[in-house]
Amino acid sequence: MTHQSDSPRPVVLLILDGIGWGRRDDGDAVFLASTPHIDALQSRFGWGLLQAHGTAVGMPGDDDMGNSEVGHNAMGAGRIFDQGAKLVNRAIETGAIWEGAAWREAVARARAGGTLHLLGLVSDGNVHSHVDHLRAMIDRAVVDGVRRLRVHGLTDGRDVGKRTALRWFGPLDDSLRALSTDGRDYAFATGGGRMHMTMDRYEADWAMVKRGWDCHVHAVGRRFPTVTDAIETLYAEDPSIDDQWLPAFVIDGYDGMHDGDAVLLFNFRGDRAIEISRAFTEPDFRAFDRSGPDGRPPPEVSFAGMMEYDGDLHVPPSFLVAPPVITGTVGDHLAAAGKTVYVVSETQKFGHVTYFFNGNRSDPPRGEERAEVPSLQVPFDQAPAMSADAVTQHAAAAIRSGRYDHVRINLANGDMVGHTGVLDATVTAVGVVDRCVGAIVDATFDAGGVLVLTADHGNADEMFRVDRKRGTYALGPDGQRIVSTSHSLNPVPVVVADPSGRWRLRDPAPDRPMGSIARIGGTLLDLLGLPVPPDYLDSLVRPAARP
């Protein structure tokens, strides 16, 4: 059913990235921050909670954190689709992953005398990758007769504990050594921190990708006898460094990739996999010089990703597991109805509020205009305001312009500063977000619009690791709380603010989740006077006059 006559203009979706609803204590930066504008919205209009992790957003289980990719996918789709980790798990369980052309090509090259290289983030964070997927690939390589295999492991420290790399690298190194029998040669080759090398996104820092390329492909980096020696030495030399920022290292004996080798990137999430995939696959690649330090041209290797990371641009051309096919998105429905849309974020989250929100498609739907505000090139704990004020200025101008039916905004601070693990900076970041909320509220109300405020997942709401079994913060060997740099499993708040009183949140329940954040999709269509498709989750709103 549509409610065209009741439809406000514009309908503003404001996504407070990484700002969940946590324990409301001294480890919760959202609680500690000054948030008068968010508080006033909740008090005036009522509010609820939505689930933004686990099965509610298509992850394998409810112990799996949500992330910005799946969160924006869910909101933009209005439904729950199985996401990367779950799709890969199923492909491994059924054996379909080993039957595809990408795996068969890699194995064929290895059997013909090449080396099989497995590259990716090594942890059980299950946001970009999962170590179990890497283990499954190694085990299958044994079954399929791969003689020479090298692992290029990126250390995490972001979706898991800050110095936990040896939890996975040590046992993997032991396993690789144990498998190096019967003519097999399996070993670690290179490593380094995910924020130092390889895993850039949105073309924010190609130099970061080049550091990874030079290390993985050309064996450029400090050398160590074993991966354990490398990590322990780097820890000892800089007690302040965590796994995200470990410098590139190379294991003795590794001399780089060679013609005839095969490379498989085992990350399933797309945003931080696209650029390194392009470096391996684009014939006319120009972002950096791919030659070796001695001028040697890049080797001729086959490359495949765990998934297709960009469905529009087909990056990479070869992949192991097909991504979710998401059609009938909010963007599709708005385009079909001739609605005008304005989307704005800073670089760090621009792909989420565009590409992921629109069902993993890069090209804007008809009628959608976009503004990308450059992110600062400094550590975000040193600049917790990030580019939020500029994003807000763009958003407020678009809202007041009268040109758009829908305005979609992402404020990145809660997530990106939360990932640093610095509590004071994150508290400041949340305060900045609240100030921006105030400006966007003013613009929306002045224009006669309605504001839907929510988040894609939690992060800033849980700055220390929680022991789920005990319900308390986990303590380290020194008796201090263990800093968390990862997302949380907490729900996220939702407010529907309509100063005209025409629309209100349906059955607000701040003490329990009202379902998945995928309900945002139907809510937007409802507010914009468009039919909510029967396969969408229910809208969160109803006209105030409706019983």
| Radius of gyration of the CA atoms of the chain, in A | 24
pLDDT over threshold 50, residue 140: yes
Tell how strand 541-543 and strand 503-505 pair up.
antiparallel
**Which pLDDT score, from 0 to 100, does residue 312 have?**
57
**Which pLDDT score, from 0 to 100, does residue 541 have?**
94
Residues 6+ apart with CB under 8 A from 23: 31, 461, 462, 466
Active site residue 68: yes
Q: For residue range 464-518, what is the model confidence (pLDDT) as tens digits? A: 988 888 889 989 888 999 898 888 999 999 999 999 999 999 888 788 899 999 9
**Which pLDDT score, from 0 to 100, does residue 3 have?**
45
Candidates 521, 526, 525; CA nearest to 537 is 521
**Which pLDDT score, from 0 to 100, does residue 52 have?**
96
pTM: 0.77
Cα(119)–Cα(262) distance, integer angstroms: 11
**Which pLDDT score, from 0 to 100, does residue 439 have?**
98
**Which pLDDT score, from 0 to 100, does residue 1 have?**
39
Cα(50)–Cα(52) distance, integer angstroms: 6
**Which pLDDT score, from 0 to 100, does residue 13 have?**
98
Tell how strand 466-467 and strand 450-454 pair up.
unpaired
The residue with tokens 């931080």 is 272
Average pLDDT value over all residues in the chain: 94
pLDDT over threshold 80, residue 289: yes
Exposure pattern of 459-496 as b/e (b: 16+ CB <10 Å)?
bbbbbbbbeeeeeebeeeeeeebbbbbbbbbbbbbbbb
Where is average pLDDT lowest: 201-210, 414-423, 451-460?
201-210
Secondary structure (3-state) at 372: strand
Cα(296)–Cα(292) distance, integer angstroms: 5
pLDDT > 70 in the chain, percent: 98
Residues 6+ apart with CB under 8 A from 222: 230, 247, 248, 249, 250
Secondary structure (3-state) at 230: helix
Task: Please work out, in degrees rounded to the nearest 5, the angle formed at the alpha carbon of residue 533 by the alpha carbons of 528 and 535.
Answer: 140
**Which pLDDT score, from 0 to 100, does residue 4 have?**
46
68, 486, 488, 539: the catalytic one is 68
Cα(85)–Cα(60) distance, integer angstroms: 7
Structural domains in the chain, CATH included, are 4-82+326-543 (3.40.720.10), 85-321 (3.40.1450.10)
C-alpha distance from residue 320 to each of 104, 265, 472 (Å): 10, 9, 40
pLDDT over threshold 80, residue 313: no
C-alpha distance from residue 292 to each of 276, 289, 400 (Å): 16, 8, 52
pLDDT > 90 in the chain, percent: 84
Distance of CA 110 to the CA centre of its chain: 32
Are 461 and 31 contacting, i.e. CB atoms less than 8 angstroms apart?
yes
Task: Please work out, in degrees rounded to the nearest 5, the angle formed at the alpha carbon of residue 375 by the alpha carbons of 369 and 377.
Answer: 155
pLDDT band at 6 (very low <50, low <70, confident <90, very high): low
Cα(49)–Cα(312) distance, integer angstroms: 33
pLDDT band at 547 (very low <50, low <70, confident <90, very high): very low
Cα(473)–Cα(462) distance, integer angstroms: 10
Candidates 240, 256, 216, 127; CA nearest to 483 is 240
Q: For residue range 160-199, what is the model confidence (pLDDT) as tens digits? A: 999 999 999 999 999 999 999 999 999 999 999 999 999 9
